[in-house]
Chain A
């Protein structure tokens, strides 16, 4: 199993551009999550999904959107990139709610 795969690994965007961060897992996990990690701060939850067709906001959802059309994929969309969205983004999945989360290796995004 590849686990959780994130693409791209790095990206530089200009202010106002849009992009989609891809996330795929092959563990047949129901739950998937998007976090951002900023220096000196713990992971912050952006959005999560408990199954295909179901998504919910986390702590910091503003400026982002997600969709979950399949169990495997959970893309994160930035519509109008802002410098405050410069961060490292991690996707994770888990079998259920009270289970450990498995993380991808992240997408490092810079907004200039």
Chain B
């Protein structure tokens, strides 16, 4: 079935180091992928997205990599800061009978150690 999952439920990173959060997806028809950040008590916040015709996209301190061959998505955060502590989850989107169905992953908790 369609499933979006994450390899690591919790990731601890030293402040200043780079963080890599991974996501596996199973629907090869998905053509749009989004990373969200969710802080405690808040709603998910859009970080960065990538469409299936690309394999890399960069934002401010963040990079998303897409490997369609192995159906893998990753989020890289450069120079991780305490404010980056949150739950990060990926979402995949693809056409499902005329509707762009979105499937969300469970999330990875990123803990930044000062």
Contact = CB atoms under 8 A, between A and B. Distances in A.
A105 B106 contact: no
Top 10 A-B residue pairs of the complex, sorted by shortest distance between their CB atoms: A103-B43, A97-B100, A42-B104, A43-B104, A105-B43, A100-B46, A103-B44, A98-B100, A42-B106, A104-B43
Contacts, number: 43
B103 interface: yes
B44 A42 contact: no
Contact of A105 (B31, B36, B42, B46): B42
Given A98-B100, A100-B49, A101-B46, 19 more contacts: A42-B4, A42-B89, A42-B103, A42-B104, A42-B107, A43-B104, A45-B102, A90-B44, A98-B31, A98-B93, A100-B34, A100-B46, A101-B34, A103-B43, A103-B45, A105-B41, A105-B43, A106-B41, A106-B42
A106 B45 CA distance: 12
A102 interface: yes
Query: Size band of the B side of the interface?
Result: 20 to 34
A32 to B, nearest CB: 13
Contacts of B93: 98
A90 B38 CA distance: 12
Interface residues of A, number: 20
- Binding site of A, secondary structure by majority: helix, strand, loop or mixed? loop
Nearest to A103: B43
Contacts of B100: 97-98
A53 interface: no
B99 to A, nearest CB: 7
A1 to B, nearest CB: 14
Interface of A: 4, 40-43, 45, 48, 50, 56, 90, 92, 97-98, 100-106
A40 B46 contact: no
Interface in B56-78: none
Contacts of A100: 34, 46, 49
Contacts of A105: 41-43
Nearest to B98: A97
Contacts of B46: 100-102
Contacts of A48: 99
